[in-house]
Amino acid sequence: MRAWRNGLWWSFASLVVAFMLSPIVILMVFAFNRGELLSFPMTGFSFRWFADVFTRPEFVAAFENSLIVSTTVGMTATVVGTMAAMGLARLRVSISAGIMTALTVPLMVPPLMLGVMLLSYYTQWLGLRLGLSTVIISHLVFTQPFVILIVSSRMAAFDFAVVDSARDLGASSLRTFFTITLPIIASSILGAALIAMAMSMDDFLVTFFTIGGGNTLPTYMWGMLRRGVDPSINVVAVLLMLFSISASLIGFRITRYGK
Amino acid sequence: MMPFTRLRALMLAPSSAIFAVLFMMPLGYFFVLSFWRVRAYRLRPDATITQYLAVFRDYSKPMVFTFILAFTIAVVTTLVAFGYSYFCRFKAGRHGTLFVFVAVLTLFGGYLAKIYMWKIILGSSGILNTALIWLGIIDKPITVFLFSPIAVLITLVHYTLPLAILPIYGALRGVEDTPLQAARDLGAHPTRVLFDIVMPQIRLGMISSFSMTFIFCAGDYVTPLLLGGPHTSMIGIFIQSQFGLRVNAPLGAAMSFSVIALCLMLIAVVGLAVIRIFRARP
C-alpha cells in the first residue's frame, strides 16, 4: 500500500518534470535540425540556422540592443537596489517591511498594463522620444524590487558586529561598506545582478511598448512569429533561452536560493 | 535598532525616485487618462465615466471570459504547484533539491520562446500530432489542441508553474517535521494532518502563488493572440489594440483599471476564504 502510494507520487512528479522540460528540450533539438519542417522525424544535425541568423543585419542589431539594455539595466538596478537594501537594513521591521512592500508593488501589475501605462506617460505627458533609453528606465521599475528583495534577505542574516567594530575603530561608513560589508555580501549582489539581467533580457511586453522603432531579441522574435514559419525563429529562441537560463541559474546558485 | 537618519534617506532616494517617477506618476496619469475622452483622434481632458460604462457595456463578455479562464488556470497551477512542492519537501527524500532545481531551471528562458514552442507542439502538423501519427496511435491529426482556450490553458499553466512552485515550496520548507510526526503517532488521519497542520502554515504561500498566476493570466495578451484562435477573446487583446490600431488610450486605461480592480477583489475573496478554511485548529 505504502509502496503503491509512493509510486503514484513519483509518477506525478515525473509527469510534471516532463511537462516543464519538454518544450525546452524540443526547442534545443529542433534548433540543430537540418530540415525546414518542424516535425518528426528529424532530418539530421546541423548548425546551418545559427550561421544563417548571424548574417542578418536586423538580427545582429537586435542582439546588440539586447546586450546594451540588459547590462545597463542589470548594473543600474543592482546599484540602486543594493543602496536601498542597505538603507533598509537594521531598521525596525514595521518600517522596513512597509517600505519594501511599497517598492515591490510594481510586480503586482501585469506587464502589458505596465507597458501601455508607461507608453502613454512617456509620449503623451512627457513628450519623450521612445528608444533604448526609455526601455532601460522602464525595466528598472520591475527589476529593482528583485534586487532589493534578494539583498535584503541576505542582510537579514548579516552579523552587524563586524560593521560596528570597524565603525568603533574609526572607519567612515563608506569605507566600512567597501572593505567589510561588500566583500561579505558580494555573491548575493552578483546573483541579484544576474537575475535582473535575465529578467530584462527576457522581457517582451514592456519593451514592445516603450522601444518605438528598433528591436531587442524578444521584439525581433515577435516580428518573426507574426510573419510566419521560419526555422531561424528556433535559433533566436534558443539564444534567448540560453542567455536568460544561464544568467538566472548562476544567479540562483550563488545566492543559494534553492538551498 | 537604528534611527531613520539622513544617510538612510539618501540611500533610499534613488529607488524611491524610480518608484515615484516611473511607477506612481505613470499610474496616476493613466488613472486620470481613464476619465478623458478622444475626439477627432485627439485626447480631450474631461471628467467622464463614459469609458468605464463602455467597458461594462461592450466588453463584459471578453471580461467574464478572461476572468473564468484566468481563474481556472490559477487554480490548476496552484494545485499542481502544491502537489509538486509537497513531493519535493516530504516525498522525494534527498532528491528534493534536484526537483526544485528543475523548476528554477524553467523559471526563465523566454516568455515568447515558450509560447512559440507550444504552438509548434500543439499545431495540427505539430510535434504532438506527427509523433502520435508516427507511433500509430491516431491516423488523423487532432485539431482541437491549437487555437482554442485549451492551448492557452496549457501554455499559461506551463509558464506560471515554476513561479507558483517557489513561494509554496518556500513556505513548506518552514514546516517542521516533529508536529507532523506527533500527530501521526497520536493516530491522526493523513488528510487531517494535511488540512489542520500543514495547510494553516503554508496558506500565505498558496495565496501568493494563486494571486501572481491569476494577475499574470488576466493581463496576458500574447498567448491568446498567438494560440487562442478566434474564440479566445481575452481582454488583454482589446487593451493592446486601444494603443495600436484603434488609438483610444482612455478606453484602454479604463479597461486596465477595471481588470486590476476586479483582480484585486477576486484575490481578496479567495484569500479570505483560504485563510478562514485553513486556520490553525486548537
The ipTM of this complex is 0.87
pLDDT at B181: 87
pLDDT at B159: 94
In angstroms, what separates the C-alpha of B59 from chain A's closest C-alpha?
17
Check CB contact of A50 with chain B, cutoff 8 Å. no
Q: What is the dihedral of CA B267, B269, B274, B279, to 10 degrees?
A: 130
> Which chain B residues have a beta carbon less than 8 Å from that of A79?
14
| Spatial contact of B236 and B244, defined as CB atoms under 8 Å apart | no
Tell if the CB–CB gap between B87 and A105 is shorter than 8 Å. Answer: no
When pLDDT is cut at 50, 70 and 90, the band that residue A12 belongs to is: very high
Residue B267 has pLDDT above 60, yes or no: yes
Q: Please give the residue that has the higher pLDDT: either A157 or B256.
A: B256
Stretch B161-189: mean pLDDT, rounded?
A: 89
When pLDDT is cut at 50, 70 and 90, the band that residue A96 belongs to is: confident
When pLDDT is cut at 50, 70 and 90, the band that residue A259 belongs to is: very low
Stretch A127-143: mean pLDDT, rounded?
A: 94
Stretch B189-215: mean pLDDT, rounded?
A: 89
In angstroms, what separates the C-alpha of B1 from chain A's closest C-alpha?
6
Residue A124 has pLDDT above 80, yes or no: yes
Domains of chain B in sequence order = 60-277 (1.10.3720.10)
Tell if the CB–CB gap between B27 and A237 is shorter than 8 Å. Answer: no
Q: Please give the residue that has the higher pLDDT: either B192 or B271.
A: B271
> Which chain A residues have a beta carbon less than 8 Å from that of B118?
23
User: How confident is the prediction for chain B on average, in pLDDT?
Assistant: 87
Highest-scoring range by mean pLDDT, A45-54, B117-126, B150-159, B231-240: B150-159
Stretch B196-219: mean pLDDT, rounded?
A: 91
Highest-scoring range by mean pLDDT, A7-16, A177-186, A228-237, B122-131: A7-16
Is the CATH code 1.10.3720.10 the one for domain A55-255?
Answer: yes
CB < 8 Å from B in window 217-246 of A: 218, 221-222, 225, 233, 237-238, 240-241, 244-245
For chain B, how many residues are written? 282
What are the sequence ranges of the domains in chain A? Answer: 55-255
Q: Of B151-165, B225-239, B252-266, which gets the smallest average pLDDT?
A: B225-239
> Which chain B residues have a beta carbon less than 8 Å from that of A222?
112, 222
In angstroms, what separates the C-alpha of A243 from chain B's closest C-alpha?
8
Q: Of A135-144, A229-238, B77-86, B199-208, which gets the smallest average pLDDT?
A: A229-238
When pLDDT is cut at 50, 70 and 90, the band that residue B230 belongs to is: confident
Stretch B217-236: mean pLDDT, rounded?
A: 87
Give the chain B residue whose CA is nearest to the CA of A243: B109
Check CB contact of B137 with chain A, cutoff 8 Å. no
pLDDT at B270: 94
Check CB contact of A45 with chain B, cutoff 8 Å. no
Q: Taking the CB of residue B232, how many other CB atoms lie within 10 A of it?
A: 22
Of A117, A238, A257, the CB nearest to B27: A117
- CB-defined contacts A:B, below 8 A: 228
Q: Please give the residue that has the higher pLDDT: either B196 or B1.
A: B196
How far is Cα B160 from Cα B78, in angstroms, rounded to an integer? Answer: 9
Highest-scoring range by mean pLDDT, B150-164, B195-209, B243-257: B150-164
Residue A28 has pLDDT above 90, yes or no: no
Of B101, B113, B161, the CB nearest to A240: B113
Check CB contact of B31 with chain A, cutoff 8 Å. no
Give the chain A residue whose CA is nearest to the CA of B14: A80
Stretch A151-169: mean pLDDT, rounded?
A: 88
> Which chain A residues have a beta carbon less than 8 Å from that of B99?
13, 17
Which residues 6+ apart lie within 8 Å of B223 measured at CB? Answer: B115, B152, B155, B156, B159
Q: Please give the residue that has the higher pLDDT: either B139 or B176.
A: B176
In angstroms, what separates the C-alpha of B165 from chain A's closest C-alpha?
11
pLDDT at A258: 43
How far is Cα B175 from Cα B196, in angstroms, rounded to an integer? Answer: 12
Check CB contact of B15 with chain A, cutoff 8 Å. yes
When pLDDT is cut at 50, 70 and 90, the band that residue A35 belongs to is: low
Residue B48 has pLDDT above 50, yes or no: yes
Residue type, B209: S
> Which chain B residues have a beta carbon less than 8 Å from that of A91?
1-2, 4, 8
When pLDDT is cut at 50, 70 and 90, the band that residue B3 belongs to is: low
B53-103 tens-digit pLDDT: 988 899 999 999 999 999 999 999 999 999 999 999 998 888 888 898 888
Tell if the CB–CB gap between A140 and B22 is shorter than 8 Å. Answer: yes
B113-157 tens-digit pLDDT: 889 888 888 876 677 777 788 887 887 777 777 788 899 999 999
Highest-scoring range by mean pLDDT, A18-32, B216-230, B260-274: B260-274
Of B4, B19, B221, the CB nearest to A103: B19
User: How confident is the prediction for chain A on average, in pLDDT?
Assistant: 86
When pLDDT is cut at 50, 70 and 90, the band that residue B247 belongs to is: confident
The share of chain A scoring above pLDDT 90, in percent, equals 37
Check CB contact of B87 with chain A, cutoff 8 Å. yes
Tell if the CB–CB gap between B92 and A83 is shorter than 8 Å. Answer: no
Stretch A121-142: mean pLDDT, rounded?
A: 93
pLDDT at B282: 62
pLDDT at B264: 93
Which residues 6+ apart lie within 8 Å of A201 measured at CB? Answer: A66, A69, A70, A217, A240, A243, A244, A247
A244: closest CA among A69, A4, A26?
Answer: A69
Residue A128 phi/psi, 5-degree rounding, is: -80, 155
The share of chain A scoring above pLDDT 70, in percent, equals 92
When pLDDT is cut at 50, 70 and 90, the band that residue B189 belongs to is: confident
Check CB contact of B260 with chain A, cutoff 8 Å. yes
CB < 8 Å from B in window 146-175 of A: 148, 173
Tell if the CB–CB gap between B29 and A125 is shorter than 8 Å. Answer: yes
B213-226 tens-digit pLDDT: 999 999 998 999 88
Check CB contact of B83 with chain A, cutoff 8 Å. yes
When pLDDT is cut at 50, 70 and 90, the band that residue A237 belongs to is: confident
How far is Cα B277 from Cα B258, in angstroms, rounded to an integer? Answer: 28
> Which chain B residues have a beta carbon less than 8 Å from that of A9?
87, 91
Could you tell me the three cell numbers for A123? 509620449
What does DSSP assign to residue A130?
P
In angstroms, what separates the C-alpha of B25 from chain A's closest C-alpha?
8
